[in-house]
Amino acid sequence: MVDGRMEHSVQAVALADILDRVLDKGVVIAGDVMVSLVGVELLNIRLRLLIASVDKAVEMGINWWEADPYLARQTPRSEEGQVDLQERVARLEALLAQRSGQE
């Protein structure tokens, strides 16, 4: 059992080192899938996967999350959504107050 624990902890440290290196350097996995029938292309799928830390992605010029309205902190869309939610809560509270007054 002691030997099993030692191997397990060594494997965990090695995995952490590998993950740290991958996030620091970045890894790109690319692949294409094409389906054709009698020389006619029916489907073409291009797959690109980048695994990297946020710092490395920004260094490479990848920062799509900054412009995404669902991920950005204070965008007009999120403010509008918050106002809508506040109005809905107010309407529901008024409706509940009316119903409890009727009973």
Residue 97 predicted with pLDDT over 60? yes
pLDDT tens track for 57-96: 888 888 887 777 777 665 455 555 566 788 888 888 998 8
What is the DSSP secondary-structure string of 76-96? HHHHHHHHHHHHHHHHHHHHH
Distance CA 84, CA 29 (A): 41
Domain locations in the chain as residue ranges: 2-62, 74-103
Q: Contact 68/62 with Cβ under 8 angstroms?
A: no
20-49 residue pLDDT tens: 888 888 888 889 999 999 888 899 999 888
Cα-to-chain-centroid distance, residue 15 = 23
Position 98 pLDDT exceeds 60? yes
| Residue 78, C-beta contacts closer than 8 angstroms, at least 6 positions apart | 69, 70, 72
The continuous run of DSSP H or E covering 65 comes out as none
